[in-house]
Amino acid sequence: MLHILPERIYQRGKRRIYYQASPPEAGKDVTVSLASPNMKKTIVTLMEFGHGLYYFDFDFVDLGDYIGTFFENGEVMGSGIFRIAL
């Protein structure tokens, strides 16, 4: 099932983003494909925090909407918008 994450508003700079696997299991290969406001794509591998919770640190430098698509073991699991404001 594809999950749509709620839109989040952040300030520019380095941020830690958390993601809950579905189902919440450890040992998954979790990645996110981020498209910046100028549509430059970046692939990030998430670190495992424990109990199915994963995270990544990302430096949001451009104002606007970043679109993230989350993958678990290569399968699309969810997407979300990260809005960067002043």
CATH number at residue 79: 2.60.40.1930
Secondary structure (3-state) at 7: coil
Other C-beta atoms closer than 10 Å to the C-beta of 54 total 24
Between CA 73 and CA 53, with CA 78 as vertex, the angle to 5 degrees is 65
Q: What is the pLDDT of residues 53-62, one digit of tens each?
A: 999 999 999 9
Which one has a higher pLDDT value, 33 or 80? 33
Domain extent, residue 8, equals: 3-85
- Judge if pTM exceeds 0.85: yes
* pLDDT score of 17: 93
Work out how many domains the chain is built from and give that number.
1
Which one has a higher pLDDT value, 29 or 86? 29
* pLDDT score of 8: 80
Average pLDDT, the chain: 92
Share of the chain above pLDDT 70, in %: 93
